[in-house]
Structure 1
């Protein structure tokens, strides 16, 4: 086969310009977690570690740090923990965080997630609708608190 018809991969060693990271809100705790993750990569060699360091540098550089709450807010907002109960009496407690520190397994949800968007601005006693792929679910806000450290 002639080499004229073989596509050379000239991007394998070329510097690739990364798209800019959009500004994003993050808590002081979230920034500390990202910085710690970046620091663990400091001594590692290889393309994968280098790419992850570059990604984390971009994310940290675009972070808008939102100061931790010092008092319980009147309405659900970034950084607070929201207690809700559904029509079946099941309760749930979620902490609203930035997208880079979200951990659904620990109910640390991004304010931009479907449940986060439904909760932001809600006050105790309000009912919000959580639109999920499996259907809508109405939740009553029963408490607002500061997150556990």
Structure 2
């Protein structure tokens, strides 16, 4: 039996991180509840204090897991134990693969990501990848 799941990020700025990952993954920021034109309108109507409006956000895509962002008081202090791999070059090998990964790395850097390192294909088990950091320092790989 399969289960529905979401991926949750602890972060300092849920709205900004949700916007980054929506662009990175081709998702959209979760729309406000029916009957509201914006999240600000909904949160105001629900009586949520304005200081809490950016305490969480989510991104969605049809048929894909929801990604949730929640504000936490502490910053990131160590390497992620779980990370996302963005599969941007499936089926590509060698120079063609690495060119596709570099193009995506450049696009994401323009959105605020940082580059950690690049691993070259070795002709064996390693096909090559680029490890990146999102705007809050969370590791992810372009694969």
TM-score when normalising by structure 1 = 0.20
Q: Structure with the greater relative contact order (CA < 8 A, sep ≥ 6): 1 or 2?
A: 2
Structure 1 or 2, whichever has the larger Rg, is 1
Normalising by structure 2, report the TM-score. 0.21
